[in-house]
Amino acid sequence: MDIARTPSTPDGNPEMADAAHEIASPVEVRREDYRPFPWAVPQVALDFTLGLEETQVTARLDVRRNPAAEASPVLRLNGDGITPLWVKVDSAETTGWVMDGPDLLLTLPGEAHSVEVATAIAPAANTQLMGLYASNGMLCTQCEAEGFRRITFFPDRPDVLSTYTVRMSGDAGAFPVLLSNGNLVSSGKGEGGTHWAEWHDPWPKPSYLFALVAGDLEARRDTFTTCSGRKVELAIFVRRGTGDLERTGHAMESLIRAMKWDEEVFGREYDLDVFNIVAVSDFNMGAMENKGLNIFNTRYVLADPETATDGDYDAVEGVIAHEYFHNWSGNRVTCRDWFQLSLKEGFTVLRDQLFSADMGSEAVKRIEDVRVLRGVQFPEDSGPLAHPIRPDAYREISNFYTATVYNKGAEVIRMMRVLAGPERFRKGCDLYFARHDGEAATCEDFIRAMEEGAGLDLTQFRLWYSQAGTPRVTIRMAHDGDKVALHLSQNVPATPGQPDKQPMPIPLKVALFDPQTGAHRGEQLLVLDKAEDSFIYQGYASRPVLSVNRGFTAPVAIAQDVPTSDLVFLAAHDDDPFARYEAMQELVVTHLKEAVSGSLSDEQRDEGRAAIAGALRAVLADERLDDLMRGELLILPSHAYLSEQMLVADPGAIHGERQALRADLARALEGEFVALHERASAVPYSLSPQARGARKVKTQALIYLAEGNPALAEKMAAAQYRAADNMTDRQGALMVLAGLQGPERTHALIDFYNRYRGNALVVDKWFSLQAGSLHPQVLDHVKALAEHPDFTLTNPNRVRALYMAMAVNPAAFHDASGEGYRMVADLILQLDPLNPQTAARFVAPLGRWRRIEPQRANLMRAALERIAAAPSLSRDTHEQVIRSLG
């Protein structure tokens, strides 16, 4: 699946707050308590009589004693918000069952039985969008992590693997298309205008991979011939009559490329006769890898030049590939329990990252991935929600679909690839798939396969799975005679529940540059596996310039005292694209940290800005750079990343200094930025790297000019908006105009809405651009947009478009009045009864209060305490709030 202190009541009584939440708070689940389920369920047959208001479900489970488990006559079938209509054992109706909370318990003698349970569910009333729910007249499912228990009673855990046969019937007019996992076995007409279809999935799978879709759909179809010569029928379904079908071409092309790439790079062949994707507009996540029937958020399927940006095209390609790659890393080999979530998600994120790098610019993709890691996962690692990529305990599993599990999990497996090299890494993966095909595996199983297949000793490396926190590596370089010594030390900071950490193996690629020639003697891999270590290099008569963590070989923070001249040199000359980008980022970070601290004199401030301007001028003039890479080098470090560099962050000061630097750079380089924009504007639209790069630098030029010369930027952005023949240029121009106060802003926003008012995904952009803008009245705009007729709390995309854009906008969220915090808290309280999963994801920004200056920290904490004091919070939100308060 694609993707982060004690509360008190108003009278200050924490015990009362705890008592109020006693029912809502679930029991802690611990990894060490895992036991195999006492019953195997080798076969499941499901019969659905479909309806939007009511769907009846009959489940027949063939159960038998699990020889690998401790024997028990009790069969526990998980449920959530459902009631059995009747229960049968071995075809005879029985009353010999009891309810234990939401679960159904049966006591079964003997070794094997057939158990049948009938339930009735209400899809149209399911605002949680978990289990079976209605979306724009269609029925669809989302079962990961624990949604299947909202459909029928079942041992809803990932280590119970079953083959599924699914029969569904419904009104042929309302549901002309009936889809489920696996292959279509048969279909036909029923009575009274109904019809039916039967699907069978021959591959054992856990219940979280079950899927059903029924609705009035149309499909783009194609075929793929696998490496062994099997023909696979491909289809991407959308709602009929929406005009969405014509926007599925890129998704289909991405799917075919992913299938071919997975065969060539990982040796993985598809294993069913069909592969179906369905686009759904109401969806909590990005997409879901259900076996043979992937269900997607429409934003990761639909793309054409008029409605999708270049970033949207990349996201569609990456998510299509991610969910397809799950067919092996998640489906054929699944998770033993949810503590092993990174086994499938971290591994699959790495696979989709490697795929996207091969499909486009490897250098730019690496930079983009690291930017996400630093902007989302590093703050998670340093806050109250920090956890290892393989947690030891959880209360609500949906709260562990985090950047740590996904993005850091990918980086940990990438480090194995760095240590082994691509060929040996492939051998380890082959062994893992061969050994555990058809099983529910663990992270330890993957590590052992990598040790044996790739020939690695990962004994100490296992600490990456059990320790939370971002390691900090301190580097000191000493030059003496012709000898260079690199003195390295590491520290893994304390995190909740883990005050003391052990050193972990950290692979770092380094190069030592001769500043006179601009050359180095080759890249070397060193591994820091102690608290402190030194590495000696001979033959350097003059002091070299160190390039470290090239390619970002380890997810760590580097601390070193680097002269400004070295950073300027690396920003201009480093032959590793990531290291060059990193030098530019560090040049800016170092300056802004000192500026925010107030330690710079006016002369030092001017010198620092002049050095950055010189480095940017070199980037703008370097004809060896392509524009995709140039665009990355122009992007300033994010507010979130800058905040992570400070023990206590002042959001107002950081934002002010960052914008002041951008304005100063814009004034110093105004002519260059105008020339860059003019050159890029002459490149005609296409999806070629050259054209994409031109659009990227065009928008970056406008972003700078908007700070240094707003009147000029407004004129240029308005002209770009009117001339745009694609969404990338139009959205880039509107983003800049949305932050300005001139008349062109209003004209463009009205035009954009009227032009796209029938397209939900583009209207989402309209909401986001305003909520994420630098306009001084942005909070008032957000309040007004929340009252707009097109805003709704029932669609997660629309909620995220408005409020998450505001929550990651430092000028809005961290407004000194605390209004941004209050608005997010209000949203959480409104949204939680409707959709707890989506509501809980808004808690994390408030939870970073410990790293914020005292005035704002008190306001953030007060917002969390107000949420905590509310009655009947969901388990999802309650856990996030309590952990955030500490």
List the one residue out of 615, 700, 705 whose CA is nearest residue 666.
705
Look up residue 42 and give its two tokens. Answer: 């080798």
- The DSSP 8-state label assigned to residue 528 in this structure reads E
Contact between 585 and 613 under an 8 Å Cβ cutoff? The reply is no
Please report the sign of the dihedral spanned by the C-alpha atoms of residue 240, residue 243, residue 244, residue 247.
positive
Instruction: Check if the beta carbon of residue 106 is closer than 8 Å to that of residue 75.
Output: yes
**Cis peptide bond upstream of 691, omega within 30:** no
Token code pair at residue 612: 């950055």
Share in percent of the chain as helix, strand, coil (round to 5)? 45, 20, 35
A 10 A CB-CB count for 641 gives 18
Position 492: which residue type? V
Q: Are 580 and 552 in contact (CB under 8 A)?
A: no
Residue entry with tokens 């009205």? 750
Query: Residue 281 gets which letter from DSSP?
Result: S
Identified catalytic residue from 144, 317, 323, 657? 323
In angstroms, the CA 574 to CA 585 distance is 13
Residue 389 to residue 644: CA distance in whole angstroms: 20
Q: What is the 3-class SS of 811-876, one letter each residue?
A: HHHCCCCCHHHHHHHHHHHHHCCCCHHHHHCCHHHHCCHHHECHHHHHHHHHHHHHHHCCCCCCHH
Q: Hey, which residues does 49 pair with through a beta bridge? A: 56, 169
Burial class (CB in 10 A: 0-12, 13-18, 19+), 872: exposed
Amino acid (one-letter) located at 599? S
Under DSSP, the state recorded for 329 is: B
Beta bridge partners of 74: 107
323 is known as an active-site residue = yes
Most distant CA pair in the chain, distance: 93
Give Rg (Cα) of the chain. 28
Contact 515, 547 (CB under 8 A): no
Distance CA 315, CA 322 (A): 10
Alpha carbon distance 353, 414 (integer Å): 10
Three-state SS across 648-692?
CECHHHHHHHHHHHHHHHHHHCHHHHHHHHHHHHCCCCCCCHHHH
Instruction: Give the residue carrying structure tokens 């006016």.
Output: 602
- Give residue for tokens 């409605």: 307
Q: How far apart are CA 117 and CA 63, in angstroms?
A: 13
Dig out the tokens for 346 from the structure: 């971290």
What is the phi/psi pair of residue 441, to 5°?
-105, 180
Please provide the distance, in angstroms rounded to a whole number, between the alpha carbons at the two ends of the chain: 29
The 10 Å Cβ neighbour count of residue 788 is 14
Tokens of 154: 């079942």
Two tokens, residue 26:
């679930």
Full strand arrangement of the beta sheet holding 293-297? 217-225, 231-239, 274-280, 293-297, 287-288
Q: Which residues are part of the catalytic machinery?
A: 323
